[in-house]
Structure 1
Amino acid sequence: MATVPFLGGGVGIFGIPPLSVGPIVFSGQLPYAYLALAALAAAMATVHNLVNSRFGRGIRALAGSESAAASSGVPVLASKVVVFAIAGAFAGLAGGIGAFFTPFVSQDTYPPLASFGYVIMAMVGGLGTLWGGVVGAVALSLWLGLPSALASLPGLPPTAGPILQYAGYGVVLVVFLLRCRAASCRR
């Protein structure tokens, strides 16, 4: 893997200053929580307007059948590229807020295994719904708080927390896959 010294090489970037907008400097957890909630509200409003637009009807048609959408005049490749770019912009916004909050960024900040949790959050909240990711993130965070609390009980090894969290992920995934199969989760 090639490393770029300007971006911190293999170690990452340390000492990122706090976010400041004009004279306002964000310090502490509470301002970043409000900033994250404001970014979430802006993202939800953007997605709501996007999904209810002509373009949104086209991408919903793509989810059903690409060939039917293409025959109706939906530019398949261009629509997929735009959706990918919008999703990347939202991920970049979240990553930027996170970078200012933690003052450190490296390739290990968001490991590939974390994406497994994001998929489960979307499944729990409901695939194809506007609030699905938010509901799934809150529900899964609360659910995985339980193993963390159990892991702090006396007599358990220090590795009990992560093991119980992965077990929690497994339980949630199996339950929702079975629920999805029983309900035949096809639209």
Structure 2
Amino acid sequence: MPAAEESQGVNKVVDNICELSPDLLAEACQHILTYLQGHSRGVDSAEISDIFQRAGVRVDHEAVQNMIRFLLLTFRSAGKNSLSGDDLVSRLEEGCNKWPKASLQVLHSLWSEHGASVHTQQEIQAVLSISQLVDMQWKLGMAVSSDTCRSLNSPYVSLLLKVVEPSGQISHRSFEMTIPQFQNFHKQFKEMAAVMETV
């Protein structure tokens, strides 16, 4: 994306954020900061969109998602760089001169209160940077050609895993197993589940 288009996109997102009342902006930021502090599994854009609708703010769902994405990136960057509330506001003003004072005060106040906790959570996540399994699908098939099956027409299990990477992006992993491999895989999963229940 050319820099001019990217800048125009950021300005549009900032315009949408600036149309929010300080209370609505604070409520949306609270959802995001709760997630960044590790107290929730994610930011529900539909819930934030409903909050805006109830307050009489007419903004489409894609615009809400863009606002959330912008604020997530802003707070993540501020946490990574250990910015103070003043530094955060300065960077926002450098990026766009449209910010109303009331919006900047909300962001300054919330970041001053929660910034250290977000920074700590980011450090923990960096150390524990592991992927998270969010969905697993499987299907049974018959092998027509395979590297691991000795004869054709042998049954196999195809697995598709949906994994959230430490970066937050979702990736898909797929692989095939013979029936004995799948049975062993299933057994190991049951053992892991039993161990996790005791924790």
TM-score, normalized by length of structure 2?
A: 0.22
Larger relative helix fraction: 1
Larger relative strand fraction: 2
TM-score, normalized by length of structure 1?
A: 0.23
Bigger RCO (CA 8 Å, 6+ sep):
1
User: Which is greater in Rg?
Assistant: 2
